[in-house]
């Protein structure tokens, strides 16, 4: 807690304190990964009026499955996936050999790419996160006020956090920026963009453990949906 207080104090001494405070409040109060924070849009935290020049914070953030771990974090990138390796289980490989053998006997054209197994797509899970912490709500309000003052209006699909150039953060860029605030500005050794998430998980474990001890029973608390 002392290190967190120091971090938020130090942030006020650097440029863009409203944005950086909001980023780190989301990290430490909601436990979001850098990837998830980078992909957030305004509509995830606030409801805009028709002109886009005023807002009301939501009570619950619905984090889309597309933002979570295992999803396509680089969906804003123009780069395309290029397959480098393929793998088969033994039964599928044996069937493949027999199929190619039969095609070769009749002189059919054989294109290796036609026999590649499908790419496994990892899907994340959506999460509903309550926006009830007063410090978190204040940070989001102050940041959105500053954004509207600078841009005059916002759209629901606008990135929640933007770089100095006005574009969205990539997950890697935001990860580096969060590490700079934690280690470079606040001097917290070995801290990373994942420190806020670890802090949230630790707090949840301690709360569940204390409740179990109060009841005089051991309650499982290792399976957390974060």
Same domain, 23 and 45: yes
11-68: per-residue pLDDT in tens?
A: 999 999 999 999 999 998 998 888 899 999 999 999 999 999 999 999 999 888 777 7
Other C-beta atoms closer than 10 Å to the C-beta of 80 total 5
Same domain, 105 and 55: no
Residues 189, 194: Cα–Cα separation, whole Å: 13
- Establish if 225 belongs to a structural domain: no
102-147: per-residue pLDDT in tens?
A: 888 888 888 888 888 876 655 556 788 999 999 999 999 999 999 9
Same domain, 90 and 185: no
Same domain, 154 and 136: yes
Residue 79 has pLDDT above 80, yes or no: no
Same domain, 146 and 106: no
CATH number at residue 145: 1.10.443.10
Same domain, 24 and 97: no
- Establish if 220 belongs to a structural domain: no
Residue whose pair of structure tokens reads 């954004």 in the numeric block = 147
Same domain, 18 and 64: yes
Tally of structural domains, the chain: 2
Residue 172 has pLDDT above 50, yes or no: yes
Backbone angles phi, psi at 132, to 5 degrees: -110, -20
CA distances, 187 to each of 4, 93, 183, 192 (Å) = 11, 54, 4, 11
Do residues 31 and 212 lie in contact, with contact meaning Cβ atoms separated by under 8 Å?
Answer: no
- With left for phi above 0 and alpha for psi between -120 and 50, is residue 107 left, alpha or beta? left
Q: What is the pLDDT of residue 63?
A: 86
Do residues 149 and 31 lie in contact, with contact meaning Cβ atoms separated by under 8 Å?
Answer: no
- Establish if 200 belongs to a structural domain: no
Same domain, 6 and 114: no
Other C-beta atoms closer than 10 Å to the C-beta of 181 total 22
Residues 29, 116: Cα–Cα separation, whole Å: 44
Going by pLDDT thresholds of 50, 70 and 90, the confidence category of residue 78 is: very low
- Establish if 206 belongs to a structural domain: no
- Establish if 34 belongs to a structural domain: yes
- Establish if 224 belongs to a structural domain: no
Same domain, 42 and 99: no
Same domain, 145 and 171: yes
- Establish if 215 belongs to a structural domain: no
The boundaries of the domain holding residue 166 are: 2-75+126-193
Same domain, 176 and 86: no
Same domain, 97 and 13: no
- Establish if 20 belongs to a structural domain: yes
Residues 63, 128: Cα–Cα separation, whole Å: 6
């Amino acid at each position: 807690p002392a290190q967190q207080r120091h971090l938020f104090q130090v942030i006020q001494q650097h440029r863009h304190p409203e944005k950086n405070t909001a980023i780190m409040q989301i990290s430490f109060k909601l436990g979001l990964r850098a990837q998830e924070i980078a992909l957030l849009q305004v509509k995830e935290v606030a409801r805009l009026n028709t002109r886009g020049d005023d807002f009301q914070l939501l009570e619950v953030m619905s984090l889309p499955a597309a933002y979570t771990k295992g999803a396509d974090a680089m969906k804003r990138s123009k780069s395309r996936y290029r397959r480098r390796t393929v793998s088969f289980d033994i039964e599928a490989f044996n069937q493949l050999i027999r199929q190619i053998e039969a095609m070769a006997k009749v002189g059919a054209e054989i294109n290796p790419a036609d026999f590649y197994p499908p790419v496994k797509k990892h899907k994340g899970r959506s999460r509903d996160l309550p926006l009830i912490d007063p410090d978190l709500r204040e940070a989001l309000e102050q940041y959105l006020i500053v954004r509207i003052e600078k841009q005059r209006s916002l759209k629901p699909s606008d990135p929640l956090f933007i770089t100095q150039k006005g574009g969205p953060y990539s997950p890697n860029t935001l990860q580096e920026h969060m590490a700079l605030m934690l280690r470079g500005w606040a001097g917290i050794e070995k801290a990373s963009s994942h420190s806020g998430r670890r802090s949230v998980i630790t707090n949840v474990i301690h709360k569940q453990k204390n409740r179990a001890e109060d009841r005089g029973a051991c309650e499982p608390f290792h399976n957390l949906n974060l």
